[in-house]
Structure 1
Amino acid sequence: MHQPIRVLFLCEGNADRSQMAEGLLRARGGARFEAYSAGIEPRPLDPLTVSVMQEAGIAIAEQRSKGLNDYEDTQFDYVVILDDKLDSSCLDFPRDGHTLHWRGSDPAAATGTPAERQAAYRQARDEIQRQLESWLAGLAD
């Protein structure tokens, strides 16, 4: 049996997008993958992130925010950057794999009513899910 493909999802705070991506890959990728997430400046998991993932049938309430230093000795096959403000120069730990940059909206920047903010989190979740499904389909080829 092959080793699982290790994937790290990275954003600034590890409070929303990278947590969504970690949960989505765990739910959709099966035993073929090990999913991780981290932030450059970790912040607590956002309750709206937990809520919109629960709507999609994915429980992430037990996930916790982590920083890159939590993985300084870990090798990843893929590092997926989910934050337009970050690039691969922020990755100062050993890695043998590929760095991908998935662009999308930042739900934490959303303002407005609670319903409008929740809609922004749903949009981010759906964007990440589409990117993940496209990436997984490409790996299967």
Structure 2
Amino acid sequence: MTKKYKVLFLCRENSARSIIAEALLRELAGHRFDAFSAGPEPAPRVHPIAIAQLRPGISDLGVLCPKSWLEFTGEWAPRMDLVIALDACVAGHHAPRFPGEPALSSWVFADPLADGMLEPERVRSFEKVFWQIVRQVSTFIELPQYAAAPARTGDASCASVNDTTTPAIQCNV
């Protein structure tokens, strides 16, 4: 049995973008990845428009809930292989240290919860971000370095971390 890659998606409130990414990675490649999401200021619930976007194709919506990223920083926390920030406010130096020193990457998407949007505009924003995340996750799971089991600690070397210009982190495993 091969070990799965553990991926943590970060977003400020962990109620929309990171939840969508977690659900999509689990649904599209759950046999190769354990997907998680969290944020520094978790919302009380997953945003209903995020659930509406996910509902047609995601089989296990019940496991999705906003969580604090502190749940992933203790000694008891699962050791992540990769942490991906989906929001500039949690990228890079803003995120805490995660056990195991996982590779860090940024996939920054517009905030569909930004203040000042009317409801129809917010729904369009969610739809646009949803499809951007679908494309990004699909590209990510096709990368050759994630086709095999993850390397043991110290065996992976990453050429690019916190890179917002490429579609996904480039790691040599």
Q: What is the TM-score normalised by the length of structure 1?
A: 0.89
Matching residue's letter, 1:47: P
Q: Extract unaligned runs of 5+ from structure 2.
A: 149-173
Aligned partner of 2:5 in structure 1 is: 5
- Once the two structures are superposed, residues 10-66 of structure 1 have per-residue CA deviations (whole angstroms, 9 ceiling, x without a partner) of 0100010000000000110131110100011101211111011114x1252541110
Q: Deviation at 1:114?
A: 2.3
Q: Retained in 2: the 8 A contact 1:45–1:64?
A: yes
Equivalent position to 1:128, from 104, 108, 133: 133
Q: Retained in 1: the 8 A contact 2:4–2:34?
A: yes
Q: Retained in 2: the 8 A contact 1:12–1:86?
A: yes
Query: Aligned in 2, Cα 1:91/1:31: closer, same or farther, shift over 3 Å?
Result: same
Deviates more, 1:76-85 or 1:111-120: 111-120
Spell out structure 1 runs of 4+ moving beyond 3 A. 110-113
**Secondary structure of 2:8's match?**
strand
Q: Distance in 1 between matches of 2:130 and 2:102?
A: 25
Aligned partner of 1:63 in structure 2 is: 64
Q: Deviation at 1:113?
A: 3.6
**Secondary structure of 1:2's match?**
coil
Q: Retained in 1: the 8 A contact 2:7–2:82?
A: yes
- Over the aligned positions, Cα root-mean-square deviation in angstroms equals 1.8
Aligned partner of 1:86 in structure 2 is: 90
- Between Structure 1 and Structure 2, which shows a larger proportion of helix residues? 1
**Secondary structure of 1:116's match?**
helix
Matching residue's letter, 1:64: C
Matching residue's letter, 1:31: H
Q: Deviation at 1:110?
A: 6.1
Q: Retained in 2: the 8 A contact 1:111–1:117?
A: no
Q: Distance in 2 between matches of 1:70 and 1:45?
A: 17
Q: Looking at CA atoms only, which structure, 1 or 2, has the larger radius of gyration?
A: 2
Q: Deviation at 1:94?
A: 1.5
Aligned partner of 1:42 in structure 2 is: 42
Q: Retained in 1: the 8 A contact 2:80–2:98?
A: no
Q: Distance in 2 between matches of 1:71 and 1:86?
A: 14
Q: What is the TM-score normalised by the length of structure 2?
A: 0.74
